[in-house]
Amino acid sequence: MYRIFIVEDDLAMAESMKKQIESWGHEVCLVQDFNNVLEEFEAYNPHLVLMDIMLPFFNGYHWCLEIRKKSNVPIIFISSASDNMNIVMAMNMGGDDFISKPIDLSVMMAKLQAMLRRTYDMTGRMSVIEHKGVILNLNDTSIEYNGDRLELTKNEYRIIQTLMENKGKVVSRDALMTKLWQVDCYVEENTLTVNIARLRKKLESVGVKDFITTKVGSGYIIS
């Protein structure tokens, strides 16, 4: 199941889109405050965004640019202004696809499903994990942030993978140690502390600060 965030001010249309997408087993959230789209996006952390161009306060291009500062999540624009200039503008602003109004719900679902397949593999497991602009590549154990790329050791990768897969939850030191034992026959407890410190230092080197928080007596968390 994927999370889909819909930014559309025509409530009847948004509800129809929501119903169609939910019928395919996905979770859907409709934007509530068009003046705070970015905040709602970050709170929901969707796998894909459907973005109208003509919106109250700020247009869809504005919000696409704001989202792109934080995330590489797929964004599909939806608009009745489907001339070539608007389509080109949508792609240049960071959009991944374009759906013309009036929306054919079957075409919408075909595009949405295709985009999800291209972005996330067929097993439902993501090829990347993204949080607050930090992108963990699961295929080559590297991290990207604002265009900078970091190579991780096997231990660093397993630690941050576990924390990002459980973001918002405290992961105990025992759980992280168990994750490291999958690679090595035995890992000293101090190894975890050293690897966490190195991981934080690497993240800080590309401008990512306070990404991993220590919960004394409990473990670690990525909020």
Q: How confident is residue 189, by pLDDT bands cut at 50, 70 and 90? A: low
- Phi, psi of 64, deg, nearest 5: -65, -45
Report yes or no: 62 and 56 within 8 Å, Cβ to Cβ: no
- CB hemisphere CA count around 197 (13 angstroms): 5
Q: What was the pLDDT predicted at 84?
A: 62
Q: How confident is residue 155, by pLDDT bands cut at 50, 70 and 90? A: confident
Report yes or no: 140 and 191 within 8 Å, Cβ to Cβ: no
Which residues have a Cβ under 8 Å from the Cβ of 14 and sit 6 or more positions away? 6, 8, 30
Q: How confident is residue 122, by pLDDT bands cut at 50, 70 and 90? A: very low
Q: Which two tokens stand for residue 186?
A: 């035995």
Read off the pTM: 0.55
Distance CA 99, CA 140 (A): 33
First to last CA, the chain: 22
Please state the rounded mean pLDDT for residues 10-18: 91
Distance CA 197, CA 156 (A): 10
39 or 1: which leads in pLDDT: 39
